[in-house]
């Protein structure tokens, strides 16, 4: 029987947003102008582990063919609290306050959380499947939200 | 509960509750921006009503000679106490309304109305103040902030708000509620004619908005 200690898990989060206007428009300018600052803030936040980015350092050019107006934010954190502290208790909140200037309401869940074993970096495809799962079945251990969180496996 | 009708007393009570540990008269006075005597008065009334428990102790665990006289410390007596009697579930109603705002994307309208509310409250306060006679000043602003429960404290070129009056619902609906709060504060500042610039920079336990004197705006 395998008696090695249970692997630790990290919290994965995917957030999708449908842009109000093209990225290079005046509408999106206030968002774009603060993107590097806020990404840097995330990178330096306690509990931040990883985020999906391209060579540009951000993820705005990571798009999908089936809906090119969607932007994605995919990241890993060491706990739900670390993620919450960054999202709601940092200058990131200022962009959150203004989110409707930049993103249209989706009318369905736009953020999904799940636990991944240490060393696994989820792909965008995998993350979108989790979001689909949340939308189809509601919050479960496999796909949940900040409002209906689940503890890490073996925690 | 008429006992908590006084805004300073209510703010003192909410501050003690939010700290989740015993706090001294001095801490409450500093956080609320009131004198130590006034803080002590309200804390002792709350203790008499058994809303707070009093103990003697030293903050920071100092003991022995030179540690000074033990301070009177206050903590919450009944953590499960609901201040609204009979039960009113404004929190549920507010959460539902905030959810509706988010799902149809009506944040801009909420912020417009909140800004208007702030301006109106400010104009009323300024007009009713015989001391300033309607002149622009931060004094009426600080008074309104205290009355609304923000527990403002002034530090190095900025006003920090020790309490979030919307905390119970901000946690579940931060984008809507914190945006509404920010807009309301913008309206208050504007209506008072105060020369302050708002930023969002949540400190531990504080409201997420900080009011800066223009020269001290942090660089982003």
Residues of B in contact with A88 (CB under 8 A): 171, 174, 178, 202
pLDDT score recorded for residue A124: 96
CA of A119 vs chain B CAs: smallest distance (Å): 31
CA B109 – CA A6 distance, rounded (Å): 49
Q: Which of B202, B205, B212, B217 to mutate to test the interface with A (most CBs of A within 10 A)?
A: B202
Grade residue A81 by pLDDT with cuts at 50, 70 and 90.
very high
Is A87 in CB contact (< 8 Å) with chain B?
A: yes
C-alpha distances out from residue B91 to A80, B103, B139, B169, B173, Å: 23, 18, 31, 6, 11
The ipTM is 0.86
Which A residues in the span 32-71 are in contact with B, Cβ-Cβ below 8 Å?
34, 37
Question: Model confidence over B18-40: pLDDT tens digits?
Answer: 777 889 999 899 888 888 999 99
Question: Model confidence over B103-136: pLDDT tens digits?
Answer: 999 999 999 999 999 999 999 988 887 665 555 5
Provide the residue ranges of all domains of chain B, joining segments of one domain with +.
2-84, 90-212
Residues of A in contact with B212 (CB under 8 A): none
CA of B134 vs chain A CAs: smallest distance (Å): 32
pLDDT score recorded for residue B57: 79
Of B116 and B84, more confident: B116
Question: Model confidence over B158-217: pLDDT tens digits?
Answer: 999 998 999 888 888 999 999 999 999 999 999 999 889 999 988 777 899 999 987 645
Q: Is the Cβ–Cβ distance between A20 and A103 less than 8 Å?
A: yes
pLDDT score recorded for residue A75: 98
For residue B50, pLDDT beyond 70: yes
Grade residue B65 by pLDDT with cuts at 50, 70 and 90.
low
> Any idea which fold B2-84 has?
Arc Repressor Mutant, subunit A (1.10.10)
Nearest to A86 by CA among A26, A128, A39: A39
């Amino acid at each position: 029987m395998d008696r090695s200690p249970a692997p630790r898990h990290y919290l994965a989060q995917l957030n999708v947003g449908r842009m109000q206007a093209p990225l290079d428009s005046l509408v999106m300018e206030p968002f774009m102008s603060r993107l590097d600052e806020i990404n840097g803030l995330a990178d330096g936040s306690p509990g931040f582990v990883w985020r999906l980015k391209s060579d540009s350092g951000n993820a705005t050019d990571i798009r999908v063919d089936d809906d090119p107006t969607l932007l994605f934010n995919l990241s890993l954190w060491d706990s739900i609290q670390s993620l919450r502290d960054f999202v709601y208790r940092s200058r990131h909140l200022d962009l959150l306050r203004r989110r409707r200037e930049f993103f249209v309401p989706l009318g369905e869940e736009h953020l999904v959380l799940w636990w991944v074993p240490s060393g696994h970096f989820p792909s965008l495809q995998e993350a979108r499947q989790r979001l689909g799962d949340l939308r189809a079945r509601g919050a479960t251990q496999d796909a949940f939200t900040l409002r209906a969180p689940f503890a890490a496996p073996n925690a | 509960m008429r006992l908590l009708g006084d805004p300073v007393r209510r703010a003192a009570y909410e501050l003690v509750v939010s700290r989740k540990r015993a706090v001294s008269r001095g801490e409450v006075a500093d956080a609320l921006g009131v004198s130590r005597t006034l803080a002590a008065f309200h804390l002792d009334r709350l203790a008499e009503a058994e809303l707070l428990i009093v103990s003697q102790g030293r903050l920071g665990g100092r003991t022995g000679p030179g540690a000074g006289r033990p301070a009177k410390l206050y903590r919450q007596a009944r953590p499960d106490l609901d201040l609204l009697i009979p039960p009113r579930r404004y929190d549920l109603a507010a959460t539902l309304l905030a959810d509706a705002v988010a799902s149809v994307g009506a944040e801009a309208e909420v912020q417009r109305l909140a800004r208007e509310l702030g301006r109106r409250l400010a104009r009323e306060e300024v007009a009713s103040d015989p001391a300033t006679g309607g002149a622009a000043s931060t004094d009426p602003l600080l008074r309104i902030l205290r009355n609304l429960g923000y527990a403002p404290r002034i530090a190095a070129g900025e006003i920090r708000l020790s309490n979030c009056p919307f905390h119970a619902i901000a946690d579940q609906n931060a984008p809507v509620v914190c945006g509404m709060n920010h807009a309301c504060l913008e309206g208050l500042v504007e209506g008072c004619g105060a020369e302050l610039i708002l930023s969002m920079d949540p400190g531990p336990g504080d409201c997420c908005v900080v009011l800066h004197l223009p020269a001290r705006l942090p660089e982003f």
